[in-house]
Amino acid sequence: EIVLTQSPDFQSVAPKEKVTITCRASQDIGLSLHWYQHKPDRPPKLLITYTSQSISGVPSRFSGSGSGTDFTLTINGLEAEDAAAYYCHQSRNLPLTFGGGTKVEIK
C-alpha cells in the first residue's frame, strides 16, 4: 500500500499570504497525485488533478507541482473562503490512498 504523508498537519495563515502543503509518497507514483479541499458539511472538492492540472471553476490561486514521491499544493494569496482541510490522493496503485490531511486556518 502506498502511504501518503502530508505536512504540516495544521497551518494558520493570514489572508493574502502564501500556503504550501507537501505530500510525500512511500514509492514512486509518477504524476498520479490529486488534491482536494474539504469543508465541514460538504463533500470533498477536487482542486488539482495529476499533480498540476487545473480543474474548471477552481480559482487560479491554487496550483500543484512535483513528481515521483514529492508533491506540493500552493495557495497563492489565501482568501477567507479557503479555510478548509486539504488532502492529497494517489490513483497510481490499488488500494487508492489519501494523505492524512492539512487543516488551514485563517489568522
Residues near another protein, by CB under 8 A:
1, 32, 34, 36, 38, 43-46, 49-50, 55, 85, 87, 89, 91, 94-101
Nearer to another protein, 33 or 78 (CB): 33
Shortest Cβ 18–another protein spacing (Å)? 24
Shortest Cβ 88–another protein spacing (Å)? 10
Distances (CA, A) of 86 to 5, 99: 12, 9
Backbone angles phi, psi at 80, to 5 degrees: -55, -35
